[in-house]
Structure 1
């Protein structure tokens, strides 16, 4: 039997004067209350209540045990109330993991709004381009790129991780604007790489169901997108980057989209969380804001904005 339930049955019977009254208060039968009290007495090895056909009374040990049970039950109620408070109001530390580029350019602006919205929450964000195990590493939510393997995690789809090609107006003024992916072979293409490789790589573009791979030749390869973006702003070449990281520069006209009639590759993106029938308020609010900002229905809106260019 559950010891806390047995304590509650014992306290109710003692406070109300009979098993029947205690049973009515707890919504169980008098026989079940008697079983709970007998369970405690057998566990403790002593009698708690002296019972006759007409009345019952606590033993000397029963009185002392009754007081301790009231304290234990009150503490258990307080613990339950704390859990309800945590679920009702965002509170505590939220541990997150995200890819480096998306985390730096897309997620951090959302997190600052989230923290202003939830003043009792702290965020511990880990940026890494490796696959992490949320359970092993203690992350409550993970943003993951690419196809998902089967797992017990809850996966919420986000807008695809879209790439666009763009360059500074000064670069395009001096070197011309490419009209097709094949033209990229005559341009400086800024290559984002995680590891050393041969000169140049292939950039893939699609239009009207046709996919082409263009040799993206260039003299500069960097494994950090922020540095690559700085080179693009400086007018050194054409960069192929994630839309969330380029949005502000495109809107301000510091960069201009090239090959707007061609779609660059996109990758699926998901928000992963552990299965929990009653997630905490801090996690619920984070999920809500992620879906509002990066949900699948935002993809078409962003695509239309990019096609229009700066106002």
Structure 2
């Protein structure tokens, strides 16, 4: 019976993906293994479920009817499992999470590792990347994202923190090049900027009237890693704009100096996102609650 259910679940995955190769990638199997599973299912049913050519595939009439019924059955099973999960006192199962590289390593990972230590039946799969992921397509339970939310159709979101930014430079750099008195002066300095895929992140500053001022600043040196930017700034290579919590220790010991400290600083919202469903699994709920409880204090870290 279990083998039959696995075959049915894989059939639904293939039908929804529209591709044997994509379905195989999603479930972590080889394309050959997926093809053999579908062939066994077709042999057992005594009918073809897919029209297959070298370039495309589509459901047969029988396959479409079978797909609709199988999808309803699997949905009922998922609902039954969710009902059971809702009654659990502790989170369990595999939790798949994605987060930006720097925030993930320094903020998200410690929180979720503590959660795993407190719950022996919970497993964690944590991926660090600055590239947005498709939660549904990639089978991700939870994503942590900074900045404005993208189109979140089909996703639920909760703010779990706020990340203040600071303009800073090493004292040695300021001794050699002078200290900018106004934001407009930054363009005349050596700047260390973050860029990815050919796009630069603007430096943002709130104005007294509530409007946002974006400075599209470029520099001779670009990085796609914020830790590398912080190291370069500490070494006197130029002025940069980084999260306060990231540079707090360097501001404290004087390795870096905060500029424009009297100017209101910009704050990025940090959100947890997850696929919308009737029942939120206990493992996902526990992770969201843990992040919301601990990230604010971790990200409030700034110059003393």
TM interval, shorter chain, is 0.5 to 0.7
Q: For residue 207 of structure 1, what is the aligned residue in structure 2? A: 207
Structure with bigger gyration radius: 1
Q: 1:129 offset after TM fit, Å?
A: 2.7
Q: 1:172 to 1:111 in 2, by over 3 A?
A: farther
Q: What displacement does 1:217 show?
A: 5.1
Structure 2 unaligned residues grouped into runs of 5+: 1-79
Q: Give 1:178's aligned residue.
A: 180
Residues in 1 aligned to 2:188 and 2:125: alpha-carbon distance in whole angstroms: 44
In 1, the alpha carbon distance for the partners of 2:104 and 2:231 equals 18
Q: After superposition, where does 1:197-276 map in structure 2 within 5 Å? A: 203-209=203-209, 212=213, 214=215, 216=217, 218-276=219-277
Report matched runs for 1:111-126 at 5 Å.
111-126=112-127
Counterpart for residue 189 of structure 2: 187
CA distance in 2, matches of 1:120, 1:213: 46
Moved more, 236-245 or 82-91: 82-91
Aligned CA distance change for structure 1 residues 87 and 167 (closer, same or farther; 3 Å): farther
Q: Cα offset for 1:140?
A: 0.8
Q: 1:187·1:217 contact (CA, 8 Å) conserved in 2?
A: no
In 1: Cα distance, 2:133 partner to 2:214 partner: 31
Matches of 1:173 and 1:136 in 2, distance apart?
52
- Relative distance call for 1:95 and 1:181 in structure 2 (3 A) is same
1:264 positional shift: 4.7
Q: In the aligned structure 2, how far is the partner of 1:212 from the partner of 1:281? A: 41
CA gap of 1:175–1:154, structure 2 versus 1, over 3 A, is same
The 3 A distance-change label for structure 1 pair 196 and 84 is closer
Partner secondary structure for residue 285 of structure 2: helix
Structure 1 CA distance for aligned equivalents of residues 127 and 277 of structure 2:
22
Q: TM-score, normalised by structure 2?
A: 0.61
Q: What's the CA shift string for 1:49-97, capped at 9, x where partnerless? A: xxxxxxxxxxxxxxxxxxxxxxxxxxxxxx97x9459832233321001
Q: 1:86 to 1:176 in 2, by over 3 A?
A: farther
Deviation at 1:233, TM superposition (A): 1.8
Runs of at least 5 residues in structure 1 that lack an aligned partner in the other structure: 1-78
Match of residue 286 from structure 2: 285
Change (3 A) 1:114 1:251: farther
The answer to whether the 8 A contact 1:88-1:280 is kept is no
Q: Find the residue that maps to 1:288 and give its secondary structure.
A: helix
- Cα 1:234–1:118, aligned 2, differ >3 Å: closer, same or farther? farther
Which of 167, 170, 173 in structure 2 is aligned with 1:168?
170
TM-score with structure 1 setting the length = 0.60
Q: Is the 8 A contact 1:106 1:245 kept in 2?
A: no
